[in-house]
Structure 1
Amino acid sequence: MIIHMADVADLVLLAGQLILENGGETFRVEETMIRMALAGGAQTADVFAIPQGIFCTINQGLKTHTRVVRIHHRGFNLAKVLEVNRISRQLSAEILTVETAYEELLKVDRLPRRYPTGIRLLAGASGSAAFSYLLGAHKGSVFVAGVTGLLVMFVMEFLQRKEILNFVSVAIAGAVTALANLAIRQFWPELQFDLAVIGSIMVLAPGLAITTSVRDALFEDLISASIRGVEAFGVALAIASGVGSVLTLYLWIGGNLP
């Protein structure tokens, strides 16, 4: 069967795009694309990936095929990354052909970009409660952190559907959790306010972005590491500004904090 390098180029570009759009590291993108290109029959392959785009060139004899894609939407769905890795391994083991591998990738691309809303809300509530518990909060404050964490996730869902900028959405969500905990504290003074707030905003923390940035740096992908690091810093700053502005205003109007 004749393998067309143009098809191989389309295959590896789609694979890299799926990994990058769903939270994969840039070194993983480059490694997977090169492996799939060689398994598809290319003699050499060169890939350069950053969080905003991918440049790929594959060669066979005197023929060169170049592909470029701009990444507009990025999220975190590691199930898709896992599926792309599975397809890559099966292509390398000759279990799949270039054509069938491309069809499998299209199936992965058609999967929901994000986890179901119910799962995200439940994860936000349980994550917030768990963080406050680990910080030493009593049961009542753990429950409050879970409830306000659920509220934060509702706010984020609403703002993202309205296509509000992520940094603005995070700042608003941070302000909402501070307001909610302040309101609860007015009726329940025994609330461990600081632990409840910290627990509820942890669902906004850019943990995976920080981890990915560090891993990119370790693999000497310094451009990608810097981009992801700045992104993580911006999210952290947005959280602090949202919570801090509400607490500052509360103190300014005469409130007191423990």
Structure 2
Amino acid sequence: MTERIDEVMEICLLAGKLMLESGGETYRVEDTMTRIAASFGMSRSHGYVTPTAIIFSIEGTDSTRLIRISDRSTDLAKVAVVNDISRRISRGELTLEEARKELEEVRRAPMSYPLWQQTAAAALASACFASLIGGGMVHFFPSLFSGGVAFWCFEMVHRFVKIRFFAEFFAAFVAGGLVLLMVQAGFGGDIGKMIIGSVLPLVPGLAITNAVRDLMAGHLIAGLSRGAEAFLTAFAIGTGIAFVLSIR
């Protein structure tokens, strides 16, 4: 019996870790772990989730586990896959071993899209947004270039420096610097609209959304911490742009 409890807890924690690392909300993570435990006959389980840690226990046993979450990214495809696995477990379609195998496959799977595709999407989003806010086609290609380079720089710096603040600051600095250089060279027009479009892919939209949803769900600590993370990201972007403009 003890061995089975340990196996269930490991599956619950693995599912929760995958969802939290991929950008899932804390209340969704808690609900998923509780549902998986209940599906394997352990209805009295408790999970406490913050953006950096998961605590999970099963009532009536001596088993309590804590795992740290050190790296978080955005991969909503993994969140959807883990959510689908938990629902199949709830319907009784997967055994313990099958569930573990599928979750391990999700864990080993690479990001949904390679870096070049993410960079291309970020560049296109920057160009389109700069055009939509009144810049027109004259700002499309300069914003396409500066937004793509800024996003690529963010990903590269973040791989070597795990503090996101510095990666976001550097990416915003690069975006602002490229915009100024292109305007001085005669490409583009409105500096403000081009800078706004270039830094759009760096804006913490998912963090802000999750912070609000966690607060509305009653997860005050998680909501406030995610909100603080979003604020620091916005501050880093603003600081990078302000630094460029100050040395203009």
Partner deviation per Cα, 1:149-176 (whole Å, 9 max, x = no partner): 0110221122122235210111111111
One-letter amino acid of the counterpart of residue 96, structure 2? V
Partner deviation per Cα, 1:211-232 (whole Å, 9 max, x = no partner): 0000001101010000000000
The worse-fitting range, judged by mean Cα deviation, of 187-196 and 48-57 is: 187-196
After TM superposition, the score normalised by the length of structure 2 is: 0.96
- Structure number with larger C-alpha Rg: 1
Alignment match, 2:129: 131
Q: Structure 1 residues 186, 30: closer, same or farther in 2, change over 3 A? A: same
Partners of 1:123 and 1:181 lie apart in 2 by 19
Alignment match, 1:112: 110
Secondary structure of 2:72's partner?
coil
Secondary structure of 1:76's partner?
coil
Dislocated runs of 4+, deviation >6 Å: none
* Cα shift at 1:145: 0.8
The worse-fitting range, judged by mean Cα deviation, of 227-236 and 183-192 is: 183-192
After TM superposition, the score normalised by the length of structure 1 is: 0.92
Partner deviation per Cα, 1:121-155 (whole Å, 9 max, x = no partner): 11110110121122111102122111100110221
- Unaligned 5+ residue runs, structure 2? none
Alignment match, 1:54: 54
Secondary structure of 1:63's partner?
coil
Alignment match, 1:27: 27
Aligned length: 248
* Cα shift at 1:15: 0.5
- Unaligned 5+ residue runs, structure 1? 251-258
CA contact (8 A) 2:142 2:187 kept: no
* Cα shift at 1:102: 1.0
Partner deviation per Cα, 1:71-91 (whole Å, 9 max, x = no partner): 011111011111101110100
Percent sequence identity over aligned pairs: 37
Secondary structure of 1:244's partner?
helix
Select the residue among 136, 155, 158 that pairs with 1:157. 155
* RMSD of aligned Cα (Å): 1.7
